[in-house]
């Protein structure tokens, strides 16, 4: 059997982070025809095909389909998914990569994935463990909280002038998706990252008062941070018509933030980028 030409397979390429990853890889000098973009958004895959990328619409729950597409590539980028079964899907990709003797797997994990206090990281930790145990050469990028996660709140803050959250006095070393995508592209196109895990945080621990101040700049109106108790936040969300399940998820997320899950872990991100990380205002203005 003829070995495949060097090529990079990107799972999750049609998602918000994946879009930036593809652009960052091109900026690093990779040709689109050397990259296969995998995702579920067929219109977006059609756009990528028109731009010269190879594309594949693969259901990650289809182990046979995953194995087939992996076997035709030498390197794999696995951008963590949001499917309820994502852990099993990730492990399926790793098994396919091992079966195909893939040269290198890059996985976007979550910051502090090795800290058992944070249940939000359970799938990431299981994926990391499976990847390390596989014997494959890997690079794990433990991504922090996205600055862009606060963009949806801008619409409400524009009208109320209040950023309400059950995060107490927590700090978040958030980073932009653009920065995190660029870091992935750097490690995928340079040497020296074999079997390394990077903790990727922004340069600054932002308080929620800092976030409200940045929103004030973006919205050109005053925004203040209003800390609320978890039960109060749950009632506010329920009163807005949100489902109980979603409200509980968001409250639990705030409690995770309050416990310090996304505070700064070091300077790996800025070192990989070779520059300071993007600030709040620029991140909130991201397209």
Fold of 8-143: Rossmann fold (3.40.50)
User: Nearest 5°: phi and psi at 10?
Assistant: -120, 105
Prediction pTM value: 0.94
CATH assignment of 147-173+203-265+278-284, given 3.20.20.100, 3.30.465.10, 1.10.150.120, 3.90.25.10?
A: 3.90.25.10
Encode 63-72: b = buried (16+ Cβ within 10 Å), e = exposed.
bebbbebbbe
Tens digit of pLDDT at every position of the chain (287 positions): 344 455 999 999 999 999 999 999 999 999 999 999 999 999 999 999 999 999 999 999 999 999 999 999 999 999 998 888 999 999 999 999 999 999 999 999 999 999 989 988 999 999 999 999 999 999 999 999 999 999 999 999 999 999 999 999 999 999 999 999 999 999 999 999 999 999 999 999 999 999 999 999 999 999 999 999 999 999 988 888 889 888 898 999 999 999 999 999 999 999 999 999 999 999 999 87
Neighbours of 175 (CB within 10 A): 30
Q: Which of 149, 261, 277, 145 is nearest to 215 (CA)?
A: 149
The structural domains of the chain, with segments of one domain joined by +, span 8-143, 147-173+203-265+278-284
CA 136, CA 121: separation in Å to the nearest integer?
Answer: 22
């Amino acid at each position: 059997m003829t070995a495949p030409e060097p090529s990079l397979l990107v799972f999750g390429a049609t998602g918000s982070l994946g879009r930036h990853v593809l652009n960052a890889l091109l900026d690093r000098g990779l040709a689109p025809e050397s990259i296969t973009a995998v995702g579920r958004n067929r219109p977006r895959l059609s756009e990528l095909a028109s731009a010269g990328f190879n594309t594949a619409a693969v259901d990650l729950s289809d182990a046979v389909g995953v194995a087939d597409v992996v076997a035709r590539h030498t390197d794999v980028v696995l951008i963590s998914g949001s499917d309820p079964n994502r852990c099993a899907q990730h492990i399926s990709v790793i098994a396919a990569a091992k079966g195909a003797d893939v040269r290198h797997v890059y996985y976007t994990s979550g910051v502090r994935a090795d800290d058992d206090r944070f249940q939000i990281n359970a799938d990431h930790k299981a994926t990391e463990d499976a990847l390390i145990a596989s014997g494959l050469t890997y690079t794990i990028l433990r991504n922090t909280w996205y600055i862009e996660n606060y963009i949806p709140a801008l619409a409400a803050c524009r009208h109320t002038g209040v950023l309400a959250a059950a995060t107490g006095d927590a700090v978040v070393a958030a980073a932009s998706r653009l920065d995190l995508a660029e870091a992935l592209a750097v490690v995928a196109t340079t040497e020296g990252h074999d079997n390394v895990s990077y903790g990727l945080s922004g340069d600054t621990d932002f308080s929620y008062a800092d976030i409200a101040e940045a929103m004030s700049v973006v919205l050109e109106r005053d925004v203040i941070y209003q800390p609320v108790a978890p039960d109060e936040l749950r009632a506010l969300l329920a009163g807005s018509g949100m489902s109980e399940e979603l409200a509980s998820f968001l409250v639990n997320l705030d409690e995770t933030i309050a416990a310090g899950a996304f505070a700064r872990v070091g300077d790996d991100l800025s070192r990989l980028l070779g520059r300071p990380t993007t600030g709040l205002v620029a991140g909130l203005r991201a397209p």
